[in-house]
Structure 1
Amino acid sequence: MLDFWFTLSPFLLGLYYLAIFIVVINILLENRNPLKTHSYLLLLLLLPVLGLIIYLFFGQHIRKRRIFSKNQLINSAFGQKYIDEYLTPENATPIHKALVSEQFDKLIRFLSRDLSPLSENNKITLLRNGEEKFPALLEALKQAKNHIHIEYYIFTSDGIGLQISELLIAKAKEGVQVRVIVDGVGSLGLKSSYFEKMKGAGVEIFEFMPVLFPSFTSKINYRNHRKVVIIDGITSFTGGINVDDRYINNGKYPTYWRDTHIKLEGAAVKTLQFLFILNWQFVSGQPWRPTEKHFPKTEPSFGSSFVQVNASGPDWDLASIMDSFYLAINSARNSLRIATPYFIPNESIINGITTSAKSGVSVELMIPYASDSWIVQAASMSFMKQLLDAGVKVYLYKKGFLHSKTLTVDGKLAIVGTANMDYRSFDLNHEVNTYIYDPAIAIQLNQNFETDKADCEELHLSEWKKRSISKKLLESVCRLLAPLL
């Protein structure tokens, strides 16, 4: 037997080297971001066999192109109908600068060109944690008359999940059209019996990209990371909070969960509706001709907030979430407040943050004291010295797990969404952010930020430099792999 393997090994080794050569050539020809190219090459070098397997499963764009080519066609075709039929001329172009600070003109124009028109007549309600979100959501669902559209990354069948499911079933039996999208990885815990019960009651429900091998899917690419509820085309909910008892802080779980969500009512709901319809056509394979009931008219006096809703994902031509973060950060003149659970910025974002701080802008960043991923935590920590050197104040949230994804600029612009400040949200996942040009909301978010600082430990450069060489080395290695996380 040993003689057999000794005879065979040179051929296997030759095949392996050939495979590595082909993979390296493929990586180079794709002309990716240099950081991501370097990371994959480093992975192949440090983990000879495992690195090749990881690349074959997660690194190729071929699968992405195959999966989303049809989705791109849907986006292109329906997107134009959406602009032509459901947006008034004044909403299809940026609202006059006099109505919104000229400071954000570049951001507004950029988002408007990506099917994210600036809309007025919106009402925003900030919701802190699941304790505020779920009562408001349940009450709004009860009031549904025509349709309920839902898409979540994580939807569980625990206490709050069952409560929402029973309400959806009841509304479906009343004749309300109920459509639900759950992610095939994030909502992996849902059993087939759950889907059968929902469908049997008249609820239309689909999984977004179901998976065959659950044991290998914790970080699989191209997930639907959005959290969106749309009710009768006029009321919606979106932000960082999934459907899970963990978000309620009722004592069932030991970890306190700090998160931010919004209730959005008004004209901007049209964009969330549009995005839902695109994903519904993708998961169901069914064409859908929207009606006026899906895009109802909003009264001029509905609300006073100016809002843009923007999405990005592997089916989007632009990296609009990342680019809009960059534009927002660089529009800051006085203050910038960022809260995010996963901080692995690319070069543009880290440069924008540090340049703002060096130019005299008061920049504060809040991230978790302890992440749910040690490798992500280590990669995040590798950026701290660069931030502290630039004058950024960094706060580590210690009360529990910080899951909020918010950004405010000068107390005038507030961003609340599903996107983390990392490569996965910028490039791989389907995300959605809400851009609110309303000082009242931005000030309220800043007040929440100040409240949360009481539960944080501030990092100081003098202390940070004292950590061990082994910890610094781990952080540096993880940072090299950051584009793959």
Structure 2
Amino acid sequence: MAADPSMRRARGGWGRAGAWLVWLALALLVTGCAGLPAIVERPPSFTLADTADTPLARMATKGAPDVQLSGFRLLPMPAYSMHARLELARRAQRSIDIQYYLVQNDETGRYLLRTLRDAAERGVRVRVLIDDLYTAGADELLAGLGAHANVEVRLFNPFPAGRDRLATRLAASLFDIDRIHRRMHNKLFVADNAMAVVGGRNIANEYFLRDAGSNFIDIDTLVTGAVVPRLSSLFDVYWNSPYVYPVQSLAAVGGSLRQLRERFEELTWDAAIWMPSAPIERDLLGYRALGEDLDEGELSLIWARAEAYADAPHKALGPKEDRPRVTADAPEGVLYNVRRMVRSAEREALITTPYLIPGRGGMESVRRLRERGVRFTLVTNSLAATDESLVHLGYRRYRPELVKLGVELFELSPKRVEKTKRFGVFGSAAGRLHGKSAVVDGKAVFLGSLNFDPRSDLHNTELGLFIYSPQVAAQLTSLIGFITMDAAYRVRMDPKGNIEWVSPAEDGGPDLVLHEEPETDFGSRLKLEFFAPLVPESLL
């Protein structure tokens, strides 16, 4: 898994690398090195199972053809995806559990946190679990939320000191790099142990078409039915693990509980008057906004058999002897089950991933499938679209071989995303792919947090859904088709064996064929060439 936006903003451009290193050195002198608190009270708690009498639980099972099936509604459009989370939070009566790699301290993040606070004030138990990598400067905000009755906030794999800035955090843990680069990349939102949202989106402006610089094309799904208790149990494993710490055990925030609550109000007042983008009349798949269906008591869902998997927390942080030596061989993990599903393909495999570094195992999977005549399609970011140029460097090492094997390879075009209105109005903001999905033989679907790169394979924890439904598969295939038709370059080889990019003509004329990385300048390509021999694949 490559870094998400806040880390990319923290890293800045390559031209600032020297200043960044100087800042780290100075910060190290100031903070020194620190350790996590040795004694921490983290009272165990578990999913509230007695929620069958709540309105969400009753709606979740209404119309289910079988108690062993789960209901799904794909959420490809940002406004609908955020609306679904907010509606679940507003309608929950017993519990809300959320688990995210990133809850940004921006308008989107603060609005959701206020919505959770409002739920807690109605008596709903709220548990918030966030990876600590991108919470720099947010201790007051999170401690203020946790100061409300019925709310508890915990952080996964936290930084022990220098918490106000990413630079001082890194400096304080400079001799603990092997720990701090291992992160919880899971994304999960569960209300009343009855309905959930799972997928690729974190909680930040750029995931919901509210960022001025760049926004993501992504995919989530609403989930009800049999698989939701399984998702809740996976949340409990993380919540009660020794690798999470209550925010109050880390944050040096003074004041009484009342003062912390007042400070939370001050820090989020802007969100009280800020509204997320409203859903339009229908989304790309013809669904109404979730709230409209819930108001009318008729929830449009596709029912199917499903499984949910999450990597165990010790994959990232357990003793080295307890970590899976080859994570692809861990049957309870996400990667194992994705590979199992993809390698079972008999006719066609279709994969989207923003960060693609297949590695030896991935290339072996592609080779086996192509030898059996399986059609294989990959959709990823172009150099112009990616927010991680170094990860693109790892990907391009495999690009020629992928094309030679007959893979249908597509790379997202920011300019084409800007022109199409199918995924929303991006305006001048760059469009980037962030969705992680797979469709096999038109009947099996993967959706989750896993990227197809070494970081997701080896270092971070992930969560994923496996849905066995021709209907869901057809919908996801259609959505991916919109990307390949409207917003991507087709990558192929010319007669001399050089990579070229093809953009379909808009006026019915000849296709546009490019022979250099599209929509990039000479400087960005030169920087990539400079770093090419310096960056080992294992660090990407």
Identify the TM-score tier after normalising by the shorter chain: 0.5 to 0.7
Q: Deviation at 1:302?
A: 9.0
Which whole-Å CA distance do the structure 2 matches of 1:368 and 1:158 have between them? 25
1:345 to 327, 349, 358: 358
Which whole-Å CA distance do the structure 2 matches of 1:314 and 1:474 have between them? 36
Equivalent residues of 1:206, 1:284 under 8 A apart:
yes
Which whole-Å CA distance do the structure 1 matches of 2:244 and 2:107 have between them? 28
User: Is 1:272 the equivalent of 2:234?
Assistant: no
2:87 to 135, 139, 145: 139
* TM-score (structure 1 length as normaliser): 0.68
Q: Which residue of 2 aligns with 1:326?
A: 339
Q: Which residue of 2 aligns with 1:259?
A: 218
Which whole-Å CA distance do the structure 2 matches of 1:302 and 1:221 have between them? 39
- Aligned-residue CA RMSD (Å): 3.3
Q: Deviation at 1:401?
A: 0.8
User: Is 1:130 the equivalent of 2:66?
Assistant: no
Equivalent residues of 2:72, 2:301 under 8 A apart:
no
Q: Which residue of 2 aligns with 1:26?
A: none
DSSP-derived class of the 2:391 partner: helix
Q: Deviations over 1:196-228 (max 9, x none)?
A: 320222221011111135223899422111111
**Of 123-132 and 382-391, the range deviating more from structure 2:** 123-132
1:427 to 434, 458, 469: 458
Equivalent residues of 1:313, 1:429 under 8 A apart:
no
Equivalent residues of 1:358, 1:391 under 8 A apart:
no
Equivalent residues of 1:381, 1:475 under 8 A apart:
no
Equivalent residues of 1:335, 1:362 under 8 A apart:
yes
Q: Deviation at 1:423?
A: 1.2
Unaligned runs of 5+ in 2: 1-20, 22-35, 38-43, 50-66, 247-299, 316-323, 325-329, 418-430, 501-514, 518-524
Q: Deviation at 1:122?
A: 0.4
Q: Deviation at 1:467?
A: 6.3
Q: Which residue of 2 aligns with 1:298?
A: none
Across the two proteins, how many residue pairs are aligned to each other? 360
* TM-score (structure 2 length as normaliser): 0.61
* Structure 2 counterpart of 1:306, one-letter code: R
DSSP-derived class of the 2:127 partner: strand
Q: Which residue of 2 aligns with 1:437?
A: 468
Q: Deviation at 1:331?
A: 0.9
Q: Deviation at 1:475?
A: 8.2
User: Is 1:151 the equivalent of 2:99?
Assistant: yes
Q: Deviations over 1:11-68 (max 9, x none)?
A: xxxxxxxxxxxxxxxxxxxxxxxxxxxxxxxxxxxxxxx9xxxxxxxxxxxxxxx99x
* Structure 1 counterpart of 2:194, one-letter code: I
Equivalent residues of 2:94, 2:192 under 8 A apart:
yes
Which whole-Å CA distance do the structure 1 matches of 2:482 and 2:184 have between them? 31
Unaligned runs of 5+ in 1: 1-49, 51-65, 68-73, 83-118, 287-300
Q: Deviation at 1:484?
A: 2.3
Q: Deviations over 1:401-439 (max 9, x none)?
A: 100000000110010000100111112111001000011
| Fraction of identical pairs, as percent | 24
Q: Alpha carbons of 1:475 and 1:361: their partners in 2 closer, same or farther (altered >3 Å)?
A: farther
Q: Which residue of 2 aligns with 1:54?
A: none
DSSP-derived class of the 1:145 partner: coil
Q: Which residue of 1 aligns with 2:311?
A: 312
Equivalent residues of 1:235, 1:263 under 8 A apart:
yes
Q: Which residue of 2 aligns with 1:174?
A: 122
Q: Which residue of 2 aligns with 1:364?
A: 377
Q: Alpha carbons of 1:302 and 1:129: their partners in 2 closer, same or farther (altered >3 Å)?
A: closer
* Structure 2 counterpart of 1:484, one-letter code: L
Equivalent residues of 1:397, 1:457 under 8 A apart:
yes
Q: Which residue of 1 aligns with 2:146?
A: 199
Which whole-Å CA distance do the structure 1 matches of 2:204 and 2:480 have between them? 24
DSSP-derived class of the 1:347 partner: helix
Which whole-Å CA distance do the structure 2 matches of 1:163 and 1:237 have between them? 17
Q: Which residue of 2 aligns with 1:483?
A: 538
Which whole-Å CA distance do the structure 2 matches of 1:404 and 1:253 have between them? 20
1:449 to 465, 473, 480: 480
Which whole-Å CA distance do the structure 1 matches of 2:339 and 2:197 have between them? 25
